[in-house]
Amino acid sequence: MPDSIVNEIHAPLISKHLQLHFLETLALTLDPTFKIHEALSPLEIPLLDQKHHSVDFTVFNEFVRSALIRDDPLGGRGVAADMEIQLDRLIREIMLGIWVFPDTSARKYCFEFPTIKGGKYLVRSTYYYGGFDGRKEPPVFDQIVQGTKWGIVNTTEDYAKGLGSYYEIVLLSMSKILSVCLARNKQTTSSPFISALEVEYLDDSIYNSTDFSNYALIALARHSFGTEGTIIGFPDDQFNRFWQPFKDQNTVAESRSPVISSDFWNFPPKKAFTTGITTSRGKTLNIQWPPMSLPSTKYYIALYFQDSRAPSSHSWRVFTISVNGKLFYQDLNVTTKGVTVYASGWPLSGQTEIVFIPTDVTAVGPIVNAGEIFQILPLSGRTLTRDVMIMEDLARTFDNPPSDWSGDPCLPRENSWTGVTCSQEKMARVIALNLTNMGISGSLPSSIGNLTALTHLWLGENKLSGSIPDLSMLKDLQTLHLDNNQLQGSIPKSLGQLRVLHEMVSPGNHLSS
């Protein structure tokens, strides 16, 4: 997956609107003094709305139209410093505050959002470094969504130009909780950080040619053609998608005919059709889009069209579309009502040229108004839902579980929870727990007896209290270490019926046989 294709965010001070652009160079110089919060534990977003969430790490108040974060979710354990700069309010809210994750022992740092199971969501993460750690370059790290590595956050080039960056992905929520995590990798030299995180519910029909049970879509470009200046977002786009302005050497056409968003596949905002790029009668329209080199893989491409002339019996254009010399659509008829053309699984590599070839019968040249392109990301499998629920129950029952016990307990495999070992199957299972000498207190919930793939359970040298729960269902359990805790009661006789259990260590408790 790409580590260099990111969206850049900046704002000319002459503008009153938030500007988000791809691969442009206009710089914004920011005072490096931020409102910085050190995150010491996982962040769980309050259940306020299962469809719209926005976490603004500068101020915890209403942002755009999304869910509210009214207080510091870490209970005052963050540290803050004010930043004084004259900027648009949206810029201040998105870019002038960050959460920093300094805990080097954690395998990942997760945010958890309540969602509708099976619902389709757009997730957008925003980053502006600001020199919070006194270094010249921002750290490089991974971002993870629902146990799948989404990509590498590398904002070095953007930050050198005074730019921030954002990333987007579209996916199904596989449960009632959607987790978004950051994680260190071999390139990480400082603490991972994040400026903003948004989760938007999408209509079921959007991008529905994609098999979202096995794939997600990483947004690489979303443009309104023929425009300059501000982006198109909410409320023009009901799903708060960002449509960047895109203008090249081609002629700009302004629309004289309104459109209805719901008439189009994927519901593009009608504002995206106010302009388009075109050419004169009989001439081929060529565009280099998206404006970056792409890695060799498969993509979802959607193009949006409308005849810009006033409605009449002659308001139509017919042309053929090719992408890098391959036929994309033959004899497309574009009217004032508009049309969407898309392809899923289209192979691309390097630079992309889209060519629109008019037919002889068309009185005007081809036109295109907007476009989207996504990289198709295979999902990395899942953890058995029952095991996830049991591990979450264990995390709630322990008074002080490891700081990275949130998100998927098994995935990605290099970022499983501390002390947790999982199987290598596509449907991962928890097969071992080693929490020896981690200072854990609390009790053992009865649900731990349903981790039926467990082979090793090591909980020694902690401060666990209460009784040993029924473990008779753990037929594959080979070793059990409970030594030097504060457990009470009798040792369950059922342990003697576990045929492969060959080692049990339990001294240093208040147990009777």
Find where tokens 């750290």 sit.
139
For residues 51 and 67, give the distance between their C-alpha atoms in angstroms, rounded to a whole number: 9
Please give the backbone phi and psi of residue 499, each rounded to the nearest 5 degrees, phi first: -70, -30
- Between 3.40.50.300, 3.80.10.10, 3.40.50.10440, 3.30.70.1060, what CATH number should domain 382-512 receive? 3.80.10.10
The pLDDT mean for the chain works out to 82
For residues 246 and 223, give the distance between their C-alpha atoms in angstroms, rounded to a whole number: 6
Fold agreement (7-202, 382-512): no
Q: How many CB atoms are located within 10 Å of the residue 295 CB?
A: 15
Please give the backbone phi and psi of residue 494, each rounded to the nearest 5 degrees, phi first: -65, -20
Q: Is 238 left (phi over 0), alpha (psi -120 to 50) or beta?
A: alpha
Helices (H), 289-398: 385-397
pLDDT, tens only, 3-55: 434 444 332 222 222 222 222 222 222 333 334 445 444 444 444 455 555 55
**What pLDDT was estimated at residue 42?**
44
> Is 223 in a helix, a strand, or coil?
strand
CATH superfamily of 219-378: Galactose-binding lectin (2.60.120.430)
**Was domain 7-202 assigned CATH 3.30.300?**
no
Tell me the sheet residues that pair with 219: 168, 374
**What pLDDT was estimated at residue 384?**
97
**What pLDDT was estimated at residue 52?**
56
**What pLDDT was estimated at residue 215?**
97
Write out the two tokens for 275.
């302009």
pLDDT, mean of each 10-residue run, the chain (513 residues): 40 23 24 42 45 48 26 29 33 64 93 93 91 91 97 91 88 94 95 90 95 97 92 91 94 87 90 94 94 96 88 75 97 90 96 94 88 97 96 95 95 97 96 97 97 98 97 97 97 93 96 88
**What pLDDT was estimated at residue 6?**
46
- Indicate the domain borders of the chain: 7-202, 219-378, 382-512
Cis peptide before 412 (omega within 30 of 0): yes
**What pLDDT was estimated at residue 49?**
52
Write out the two tokens for 421.
């070992």
